[in-house]
Amino acid sequence: MRFGGLLLGSLVAAATTLAGAAYAADTIKIGFNAPLTGFAAADGKSALTGAELAVEQANASGGVNGKQIELVVYDDGAKPDQAVPVAKKMIGQDKVAVGVSGSYSGSTRAAAQVFQDSGVPYISAYAVHPDITRAGPFVFRTSFVGEVQGRAGAKLVGEMLGKKRVVLITLQNDFGKSLAAGFKEKAGDYGIEVVNEYQYSIKDRQFGPIVSKVAADKPEAIYATGYFFTAAPLVKQLRAKGVDAPVIGQEGYDSDKFLEIAGKAAEGVIITTSLDRDSDQPETKQFISAFEKKAGFGADMVAASGHTAIKVAVAAMRKLDGDVSDPAKLRDAIAATEDLTASTGSISFNPLGEVMKAVQVQVVRDGAWHRHSVIDDTALLAPPAK
Amino acid sequence: MLYLDLTLQGLIQGSMYALIAVGLTLVYGLLRILHVAHAGLFTLGAYIAVTVTNAAGSLLLAALVAVPLVGLAGMAIYRLLYEPILHRPPFVALIASIGLFICMEEGFRLVFGPYGNSFDLSPVEGSVQLGALSLQTVEAATIVAAFGLLGALAVFAGRTRIGVAWRATVTDPEMAQSFGIDTVKVRYLNFFIGSALAAVAGVLVALLNNFVEPTMGSVPSYKMLAIIVLGGLGNVKGTLVASLALGVMESFGTIYAGHIMDRDAIAFLFLVAVLMVRPQGLFGKA
C-alpha cells in the first residue's frame, strides 16, 4: 500500500514535470507585480490592463519567434513585504524570463533586489525612487526618476510660464519628496522663489488648513505633488476657496479620474508626464484607442507605462529570437534597447538602466488632457548614471 | 485672520470626526466593544450617497436612503457579528471587527471598482461668507450637521423615555433589565443611531472631496479610537470636545509642524500628551 502510494506519487510528479516542461517550451513567461488590492489598487489595475494589452498585441503579431508570451500576475499591495515573496515566487516557481513592476517605489525597490540577486532582468514601469536601478545591472526603468521630472517642473514654472513666487504642496512619500527635491534643485536657475512648502500624507483628502494658508500666501503658481486621488480633491478645494494661481502637477495626476473628481476646477491644471494625448505618433495614438477599447475608460500614464515596459521586454526577447535561456544575454539585449518607439516616447537606456526620453507637458482644456508643450532639454533631463 | 480661518478649518474637520466617533463611543459605552468596522459603515454611507445621486439625480433622496440604510446595516452587524460572541473576551469582538472592516474595504473595491467614484454633477456648489471668511457650503453644512444632530441626540437621551432607558442600560444593564427595559432593543437603537451618524459624515465627506474610494475609512478606523480614548471611553460630550480639539490641533499642526510630522502623528502626539496628564481621558471618570 505504502509502496503503491509512493509509485503513484512519483508518477504524478513525473507527469507534472513533463507537462511543465512541455508548457514552458511553448510560452515565455513575464512576471508582473502590481497593487491589485489596497490603496493603490486603481493604479495597479491601470498598469495591469496596459501590460495585458502589450502582451495581447505581441502575441497577435506572432509572439516571440512563434512562442506565445504569458503574463504571470501577482498582487503586491504596493507593500515591500509582499513584493519580496512575490518576486521569489516569480523567479523560483514560475521561472519567468523577465519581471516587470507595475507598482510603487517601496515594493519595486524590494523586488528589484531579489531579481538582481537572482540574476533575472527586472523593469520598473513607473516607480520613481532613484535607488531602484541602483540595485544592480539587471534592473531597468522605463519612466522618469522623480528628481528628473521635478527639474522639468522647475523649467516649466520658472521659464516657460514665467511664474516666480511659488508655493510647494508636497506629498510626504518618495514620489512627492523626490519631485520636490528636483524642483527645488533647479528653482534658483529659473529665478523661482519658493515662498513656502507644505507637506501632506497620502491618506489626506481634506486640505482645509493648507488651502487657507496658501490663500494667504498669494503665490503666482502652486507646484503640488500627488496622485489623482489626492490632487483632485486638493485642486477642487483650492478653487472653491478662490485661489486661482495655476496648479502644476506631475504624472501622478495623469488620469481621466482626475478630471472626473476635480470637475470644472481641473481646467488649466498643467502637468509633466510621459503620455501625450495629442500625439501624432501612430504608436501612441494606437495605444490610446486600443486601451480605451479594452479597458472601457481612458488611457493614463500608468497604463502607458505598463504597456511600454512590456514592449521593451518583448523587443529584447525578439532580438534573441526567443532564446531566453540565458538571463545575462536577455539583460544585455534590454540594455541595448535603442530608440524603441513606445506609447510613452522613444526608449533608450543610460548605463544605470535609466530611460532617456522627453517630458510631455499636458494641460486640462475643455475637460480633457491636451498637449501644452514638450521639454526635451537633454542636459536638464539627464538621469543619474551611477 | 489666518488664525481664525485655520481654527474654523479645524472645527470643520473636528465636526466630521465627531459625527463618526460618537457612534463608536456609544457602542463602547454599551457593550465594551471597539467597533472598528464602524469606519466601513462611514464608507458605505458615502458610496450609497454617490450611487443614488448619480442614478436618481437627487442628493436629498440619496441622503434619505443612505442614512437609514447604513443605520440598518449597523444593526445587522450587531445581530450577525457581535451578538454571537458577546460572552467572549472583548479582544475576540475587536478582531472580528477588524476582520469585517477589511472585508468591507475589499468588498467596496469589488463592487464599485478600485478607482473610486464621484458625483457626475457636483450637487452642492457655492460658498458662504462669514464676515471676511469664506466657507464652502458643504463645510458650513458639516458644522451645522454635527452640532445639530449631536444636540438632538443629547435632547433625545436626556428628555425622552427611550433616552432614559438607553442611559439606564449603559449605566447598569442588569438593573435596567430588572426594571423592565428591553436591553436588546436598546442595543439595536444604539447601533442604528451611531451608524446613521457615520453615514451622515460619509455623505458630507463625499460632497467635500467629490470622491469616495474603498479605503476612505482607513484613517477614521484608527483615529476614531484615539478620539474616544481622549474623550473618555463611552462619554458622548467628551467625544465631541475631543474631536473638535483634535481637529483644531491638526489644522495648526499641518501648517506649522507639517514638515516634521504628518497629520496623524500630530493627532497621536496630542493623545499621548493628554493621556500623560489625564490617563482617564479629558472627560473620563478617574
Judged against a pLDDT cut of 50, whether residue A23 lies above it is answered with no
* ipTM of this complex: 0.90
- Domain total in chain B: 1
- Residues with Cβ within 8 Å of B11's Cβ and at least 6 positions away in sequence, in order, are B143, B244, B247, B248
Q: What is the pLDDT of residues A67-114, one digit of tens each?
A: 999 999 999 999 999 999 999 999 999 999 999 999 999 999 999 999
Annotate A127-174 with DSSP letters as a single string.
---TTTGGG-TTEEESS--HHHHHHHHHIIIIIIS---EEEEEEESSH
Q: Is the dihedral of CA B209, B214, B219, B225 positive or negative?
A: positive
CATH of the domain at B247: 1.10.3470
Letter for the amino acid at A350? N
Residue B272 lies in a domain: yes
Answer whether A226's CB lies under 8 Å from A170's CB: no
Q: From residue B126, how far is each of A386, B76, B95, B122 by CA, in Å?
A: 52, 38, 43, 10
pLDDT at A25: 57
Please compute the mean of the pLDDT values over residues B96-114 and round it to a whole number: 94
Span of A298-312, B36-50, B82-96, B249-263 with lowest mean pLDDT: B249-263
Judged against a pLDDT cut of 60, whether residue A8 lies above it is answered with no
Q: How confident is the model at residue A2 (pLDDT cuts 50, 70, 90)?
A: very low
Minimal CA separation from A223 to chain B, in Å: 16
Residue B284 lies in a domain: no
Minimal CA separation from B1 to chain A, in Å: 9
The chain-wide mean pLDDT, for chain B, equals 91
d(CA A150, CA A181) in angstroms, rounded, equals: 7
Residue B271 lies in a domain: yes
Answer whether A154's CB lies under 8 Å from A182's CB: yes
Nearest chain A residue to B138 by CA distance is: A240
For chain B, what percent of residues have pLDDT higher than 70? 99
CB contact, 8 Å: A208 with chain B?
Answer: yes
Q: How confident is the model at residue A331 (pLDDT cuts 50, 70, 90)?
A: very high
Nearest chain B residue to A255 by CA distance is: B115
Please compute the mean of the pLDDT values over residues B178-196 and round it to a whole number: 93
Please compute the mean of the pLDDT values over residues B2-11 and round it to a whole number: 93
Q: How deeply is A7 buried, as exposed, middle or buried, from its count of CB atoms within 10 A (0-12, 13-18, 19+)?
A: exposed
Judged against a pLDDT cut of 60, whether residue A340 lies above it is answered with yes
Neighbours of A11 (CB within 10 A): 10
Cell of A151: 527639474
d(CA B205, CA B200) in angstroms, rounded, equals: 9
CB contact, 8 Å: A198 with chain B?
Answer: yes
CB-CB neighbors (< 8 A) of A243 in chain B = none
Q: How confident is the model at residue A21 (pLDDT cuts 50, 70, 90)?
A: very low
Q: How confident is the model at residue B232 (pLDDT cuts 50, 70, 90)?
A: confident
Q: How confident is the model at residue B285 (pLDDT cuts 50, 70, 90)?
A: low
d(CA B268, CA B191) in angstroms, rounded, equals: 27
Residue B285 lies in a domain: no
Q: From residue A65, how far is each of A173, A320, A324, A333, A339 by CA, in Å?
A: 42, 9, 11, 15, 22
CB-CB neighbors (< 8 A) of A236 in chain B = 209-210
Task: Tell me the helices (H) and strands (E) count for chain A, helix number first.
Answer: 12, 14
Judged against a pLDDT cut of 50, whether residue A18 lies above it is answered with no
Cell of B262: 504628518
CB contact, 8 Å: B263 with chain A?
Answer: yes
Tell me whether residues A260 and B118 touch, CB distance under 8 A. yes
pLDDT at A83: 96
Residue B286 lies in a domain: no
CB-CB neighbors (< 8 A) of B16 in chain A = 206
Minimal CA separation from B183 to chain A, in Å: 38
Domains and CATH numbers, chain A: 2-144+280-355 (3.40.50.2300), 146-273+360-375 (3.40.50.2300)
Please compute the mean of the pLDDT values over residues A329-340 and round it to a whole number: 95
**Across the interface, which of B9, B118, B216 has its CB nearest the CB of A212?**
B9
Q: What is the pLDDT of residues B243-257, one digit of tens each?
A: 999 999 999 999 998
Cell of B259: 514638515
Instruction: Give the structural domain span for B95.
Output: 2-277
Q: What is the pLDDT of residues B20-48, one digit of tens each?
A: 999 999 999 899 899 999 999 999 999 99
Answer whether B224's CB lies under 8 Å from B17's CB: yes
pLDDT at B279: 84
Pairs of CB atoms within 8 A across A/B? 107
Residue B188 lies in a domain: yes
Residue B283 lies in a domain: no
Q: What is the pLDDT of residues A220-236, one digit of tens each?
A: 999 999 999 999 999 99
Residue B46 lies in a domain: yes
The chain-wide mean pLDDT, for chain A, equals 91
